[in-house]
Structure 1
Amino acid sequence: MFSAVVRSVALALFQGDADPSPPRSRWLRFRPPRWQPLAGHVDLVQVADILVALLLFGSTFSQFVGWNDEAKLPVDDQLLFLASAAFSLPVALRDRWPLGAWRVAVVLLPSALWVIETIRPGPGDPPYTAAMTVMYVLVAYSVAARCDRRITIVVWVVGALAAWIIHPDSMAVVTVIVTVALLFGYNVRVRRNATARLVEEERRTRLAEGAQAVLEERARIARELHDVVAHHMSVIAIQAEAVPLKAAGDPVQLEAGLAEIRSLSLEAIAELRQVLGVLRDQDGRTDTAPQPGLDRLDELVSNARAAGLTVRVGRPEPLGPLPPAVGLSAYRIVQESLSNVMRHSPGSTVTITVEHDGHALRLRVANAGGTAPGGTEGAGQGLVGMRERAALLGGTLEAGPVDGGGFQVTATLPIAVAATEETT
């Protein structure tokens, strides 16, 4: 406790410093015209402080000279000058160095009080003048508004003790005046700090939102890349393995199989270019090429059958118009489901069911056990991506093994919600 008190007193008298001056509005701080001899910016607050300081100095010195002429024990003019500076110099310094201004006032006030007690008529009255009151109130406010709370408390204690020592009868009035000035300044400091914290929080929020948007965009691009690469590469890998066996030395069938692989490779490259087009665009323009939808379901089925799967499709004819977001998500979900079947259950039978009732699109991709051993387990990003696609549209997706072996993916994608979001 004692060390904390000593630390606070040391901060107020020797070690402490004030916060920087708060930023001014353009009405209080401006750059003068070029033809003016003044350099830099003009701060109207500091100009006002200097004018007030000159006014206090002139009025106080004139008052002291008048008292000195009437006194029986006149005081030297240099002391009158120093006493007048005690009421004006702290005001001139209070904006740039508020704590330094208070220290200057504490050092110079004893000489000013001695001069007042010596030459002022009417002994016994409180040795306070209007200039002294104005000076100390302004300086105390500046200290409370720009310094640590511990320093403000020390300033209040010093002011109260000085009032009790100088003139005990007026101590209550002086303490109230100093307290009001300090409380007002402290309230301003609290509000400034709260505003600064709010601005900093808003800045951090904007940065966080920007970072989140970047992560979401990365996730979207990664999801698109995964769907494109996983599907096409799976088909190409199976085709590359099956074509030599199927051709059995027949150059015609071998050539046809290689042409099919080439066609799949070109299709994969085209979709990759479409996904990455926005990243290459310096102006941030999006690729205007149409995104795939369920109208290309037959291509997925054809590729899957070419890879050795038996695929059955059940869908209404005609399917009806779908919002682009729903069509793309449905296409990617079916594409990823078929890719998983190719990797984990090659040679199996797949049933694709598409239902559309005007309110929601329902997909079901189910497969029985494969006729050949499946590949290694993946990282599970395909299922995560499918669930994210459904969730972004306000839909649901369930995936898991079924009785008797096999796997099933069921997705429900709302249509009305997606259409509304695209319109807005």
Structure 2
Amino acid sequence: MVPRVPSPRRPRLPSGRAADAALAAVVLVLVAVGSLRSLIGERQESWETTALAWALLVAACAALYACRRHPVPTATFVLAATIAYYLVSAYDGPLLVAFVVALYTVAAEGRLRMAILLAALGLLLTGAGTLLGNHDVNGVALFMMTGWLVGVVALGWVRENRLALAREAEQRAASEERLRIARELHDVVGHHISLINVQSAAALRRLRKDPEGGPERAEEALGAIKDASREALRELRTTLGVLRQVDESAPTAPVAGLDRLGDLAAAARRTGLDVRVSTDGERRRLPAEVDLAAYRIVQESLTNVTRHAQATAVTVRTEHGPRHLTVEVTDNGRGPIPLGGGSGSGITGMRERARALGGELTTGPTLNGGFTVRATLPCPAAPLAHLPGPGSAMANGEPPRP
């Protein structure tokens, strides 16, 4: 048996407070190494002055630990400590690196104006020191320092903008995902609960009107309630499984699509509707998202008819065009609910589904007083002739003809 070799773990970069401490430590090491000549070699100042300069150096670098949480106060302190260091020490150490890091953090945290103000203040004080006789900084060095500070502020501002855009995109994606989940749950649960509500009302009505023969007739409605509740639980379990993103066994039931229009028609027929399903054009293999959207639109339309339309007949028609799929549901009921008469979001959800795929959905009354829902979805695909159409005999709940 070959022993299993563990894969090497990638080192994790520090984050949070650990990252702040690491940044302060790295800057301190760089500045300290660049300032060692104040401790070694010929003396240019007293040891007391050197100790004070090193105290300012350590304080400026240690302050970077709080730079991300309090960027402006920290950068102001670092600038003051840096100015004091260069005024006290006779050695020109690289403590300006700490101020550059603090300035970048101020800009990266979205405080652009304060970053510009601090950078301008640092340049003015450095220029004033040059005019007063500081021979370590000449005009060329001052010009280069200006370029460095402007570049640092610009880099921090760019990073802040990129993070803001990323947060905005993340929030937009989260909002779209919430809307998609809400539509899916509305379609999955609403349809079956509506059927259960209609069938239970029918069963109660039959029991009250016909105490003797009612139980036998109510048994059919109770069977429909059982089937609808089982289907609702199955689809709800599938939807929640996708949301959890867990490794579950693949569902054995067919995926919701136009191939299951026969199931929708059969469930609607059990409520007393005369449902007719037809298809035009050559059947094709549809993209999964188009197939699901078309199925959900038909499902929600039948739900609305069952709950609100008081219709007796419904026609579901699908048309496969060269580049579009058209789904149309027409009933002979009283039409849509008057404005303010309902609190549902079915038509809005159907319209959002169609628009999300680049299609459109229209609704309106028919000439005979009914109501029509028509969705057009783009779906270029190759024809697949061997699949049964949704308007076939089996889809309409009829036995196949010889």
Query: Is the TM value for this pair above 0.5?
Result: yes
Contact 1:137–1:181 (Cα < 8 Å) also in 2: no
The residue identity in structure 2 corresponding to 1:406 is G
**1:334-367 alpha-carbon deviations (Å, 9 max, x no partner):** 1111111122212343222111134221111122
The residue identity in structure 1 corresponding to 2:38 is A
Higher mean alpha-carbon deviation, 280-289 vs 377-386, is at 280-289
SS of 1:400's partner is: strand
Q: Counterpart of 1:213?
A: 173
Contact 1:91–1:138 (Cα < 8 Å) also in 2: no
Q: Does 1:149 align with 2:83?
A: no
Change (3 A) 1:179 1:377: farther
Give the one of 271, 276, 282 matched to 1:312. 276
Percent identical? 35
Give the one of 160, 163, 166 matched to 1:200. 160
Number of equivalent positions:
327
Give the one of 328, 351, 356 matched to 2:292. 328
Q: Does 1:50 align with 2:35?
A: yes
Q: 1:23-62 maps to which residues of 2 (within 5 A)?
A: 44-54=29-39, 58=42
Q: Counterpart of 1:11?
A: none
Change (3 A) 1:395 1:243: same
Q: Counterpart of 1:64?
A: none
Q: Distance in 2 between matches of 1:318 and 1:417?
A: 11
Question: Could you say which structure has the greater relative contact order, defined with CA pairs below 8 angstroms and 6 or more residues apart?
Answer: 2
Give the one of 337, 340, 365 matched to 2:304. 340
Change (3 A) 1:98 1:284: farther
Q: Counterpart of 1:69?
A: none
Q: Counterpart of 1:127?
A: none
Give the one of 80, 84, 90 matched to 1:103. 84
Give the one of 238, 243, 247 matched to 2:198. 238
Q: Counterpart of 1:123?
A: none
Contact 2:221–2:270 (Cα < 8 Å) also in 1: no
Cα displacement (A) at 1:54: 4.1
Q: Does 1:227 align with 2:191?
A: no
Q: Does 1:266 align with 2:230?
A: yes
Q: Does 1:351 align with 2:321?
A: no
Contact 1:234–1:342 (Cα < 8 Å) also in 2: yes
Q: Distance in 1 between matches of 2:175 and 2:252?
A: 23
**1:103-129 alpha-carbon deviations (Å, 9 max, x no partner):** 354357xxxxxxxxxxxxxxxxxxxxx
Contact 1:53–1:89 (Cα < 8 Å) also in 2: no
Q: Distance in 2 between matches of 1:54 and 1:395?
A: 75
Is there any run of 5+ residues in structure 1 with no aligned partner, and where?
1-22, 31-39, 62-80, 109-131, 164-170, 420-424
Q: Distance in 2 between matches of 1:285 and 1:205?
A: 38
Contact 1:367–1:406 (Cα < 8 Å) also in 2: yes
Q: 1:275-290 maps to which residues of 2 (within 5 A)?
A: 275-282=239-246, 290=254
Contact 2:328–2:372 (Cα < 8 Å) also in 1: yes
Cα displacement (A) at 1:280: 4.2
**1:370-410 alpha-carbon deviations (Å, 9 max, x no partner):** 49x99983334211211122122222211123344222111
Cα displacement (A) at 1:140: 7.4
Contact 1:365–1:409 (Cα < 8 Å) also in 2: yes
Contact 2:359–2:377 (Cα < 8 Å) also in 1: yes
The residue identity in structure 2 corresponding to 1:385 is G
Q: Distance in 2 between matches of 1:161 and 1:217?
A: 61
Give the one of 132, 144, 150 matched to 1:190. 150
Give the one of 397, 409, 414 matched to 2:361. 397
The residue identity in structure 2 corresponding to 1:197 is W
Cα displacement (A) at 1:136: 5.4
SS of 1:197's partner is: helix
SS of 2:35's partner is: helix
- Backbone CA RMSD of aligned residues: 4.2
Higher mean alpha-carbon deviation, 390-399 vs 241-250, is at 241-250
Contact 1:140–1:178 (Cα < 8 Å) also in 2: no
Q: Counterpart of 1:383?
A: 347
Change (3 A) 1:194 1:227: same
Cα displacement (A) at 1:179: 3.8
Cα displacement (A) at 1:51: 2.8
Change (3 A) 1:288 1:222: farther
Is there any run of 5+ residues in structure 2 with no aligned partner, and where?
1-18, 62-77, 104-117, 384-402
The residue identity in structure 2 corresponding to 1:238 is V
Contact 2:275–2:313 (Cα < 8 Å) also in 1: yes
Q: Counterpart of 2:4?
A: none
The residue identity in structure 2 corresponding to 1:102 is I
**1:178-236 alpha-carbon deviations (Å, 9 max, x no partner):** 44333323332332233233333333433333333333222222111111222112222
Contact 2:35–2:94 (Cα < 8 Å) also in 1: no
The residue identity in structure 1 corresponding to 2:200 is A
Q: Distance in 2 between matches of 1:144 and 1:281?
A: 45
Q: Distance in 1 between matches of 2:247 and 2:159?
A: 30
Q: 1:157-168 maps to which residues of 2 (within 5 A)?
A: 158-163=128-133
Bigger radius of gyration: 1
Contact 2:324–2:377 (Cα < 8 Å) also in 1: yes
The residue identity in structure 2 corresponding to 1:53 is S
Q: Distance in 2 between matches of 1:218 and 1:234?
A: 23
Q: Counterpart of 1:75?
A: none
**1:294-334 alpha-carbon deviations (Å, 9 max, x no partner):** 11111211222221223222214874432222221111111
